[in-house]
Amino acid sequence: MKEKIQALRTQIEQLKAANQEELESLRIKYLSKKGEITELFSEFRNVPNEQKREIGQLLNELKTMAQEKINALRDSFVQSNAAKEETDLSRTADPVALGTRHPLSLVREEIIDIFSRIGFTVAEGPEVDDDWHVFGALNFPPEHPARDMQDTFFVEKNPDVMLRTHTSSVQSRVMTTQKPPIRVLCPGRVYRNEAISARAHCFFHQVEGLYVDKNVSFADLKQALLYFAREMFGTETQIRLRPSYFPFTEPSAEMDISCNLCGGKGCSFCKHTGWVEILGCGMVDPNVLEACGIDSHVYTGYAFGMGIERITNLKYQINDLRLFSENDVRFLREFEHA
């Protein structure tokens, strides 16, 4: 026993470790539950009684010494790391992990950029708004079934205060505060009481466009939207307008673009029609102009509204809306170079 203790002492005195991992394996070798020193302690039972005192002392000394040696080696690492940090002036600064732009922000900026080239500026409005701005001014009469097209979240059960269901609410605000010519783009977040799934979410983002002036025609609307579609999805893109209904526009239409995956030939993405829907639009209903104090005999206007998620899905072939709000960095990093 004595010899074993002596042999371990000499070994431990000479211990060296090049890094933390090596040091940790030394600690395990000697001091862990199955370590060599711990084993000696269990053999201590068999030491004859008359030697117990002496051997016990030697064993305890060995253990303390091993612990001290390991601590000393550990301290030397910490110190040498600190010393390095202090002296190595040539080291580059700590790399900061850079974030990326969210795909919805990228697409929103692109939409704004495209329309700003034809004279549109950005207008914003509140996300919590009143009935008049969200519905009333936009020709949704009280109790009108068209209100059910957008399932609304009310604030504190007050039927007059709500989370806006569309950015068309900014139209009403701009038209009551500005005089034509008006040419604005209104990006923002909107809310609807929908169950969350791959295809629907209780909040999403829209961009509204509004142009009010003398002699604005449906042809102007069509041309602006064709320009947008080609800038956004490529010069080969075709558009088509289908008649539709919105309370605040007359006539109203929905716009499809030729499927940007198959080029219009038909694929599973466009359900073999060659077309995918991207927005709603129309001529501002004279009732809306009048409600906002604009003379509908002098002025006409067009409006359009699109979901930013929808445009992003088409542009980047993303098929699950939930990805946009889960903040999974692996998804977000995909847009690093977009």
**Site residues for ligand DAH per CB under 6 A:** 166, 168, 208, 246, 249, 280-282, 303-305
- CA of 86: how far to CAs of 77, 89, 122, 174, in Å? 14, 8, 50, 59
Q: Is the peptide bond before 142 cis (omega within 30 degrees of 0)?
A: no
Q: Which residue is nearest to ligand DAH (CB)?
A: 305
CB nearer ligand DAH, residue 63 or residue 201: 201
- Shortest approach of ligand DAH to residue 228 CB, angstroms? 14
CA 206 – CA 229 distance, rounded (Å): 16
Nearer of residues 83 and 200 to ligand DAH, judged by Cβ: 200
Q: Return the number of the residue (23 or 284) whose C-beta is nearest ligand DAH.
A: 284
Between 79 and 217, name the residue whose CB sits nearer to ligand DAH.
Answer: 217
Q: What's the closest the beta carbon of residue 307 comes to ligand DAH, in angstroms?
A: 8
- How many angstroms separate the CA atoms of 281 and 222, rounded? 9
Which two structure tokens, joined as six digits, stand for 87?
């002296």
DSSP-derived 3-state class of residue 287: helix
Pairwise CA distance, residues 300 & 111, whole Å: 24
Name the token pair of 265: 């030939």
Nearer to ligand DAH, 245 or 331 (CB): 245
CB atoms within 10 A of CB 276: 19
> Which is nearer to ligand DAH, 245 or 335 (by Cβ)?
245
Q: Which H or E element spans position 191? A: strand 182-191
Check: CB of residue 185 under 8 Å from CB of residue 112.
yes
The answer to whether the CB of 313 falls within 8 A of the CB of 319 is yes
Q: How far is the CB of 99 from ligand DAH (least distance, A)?
A: 30
For the bound state, the minimum distance from the C-beta of residue 280 to ligand DAH, rounded and expressed in Å, comes to 3
- Minimum separation from the CB atom of position 149 to ligand DAH (A): 7
Q: Please, what is the minimum distance in Å from the beta carbon of residue 179 to ligand DAH?
A: 20
- What's the distance, Cα to Cα, between the start and end of the chain in Å? 71
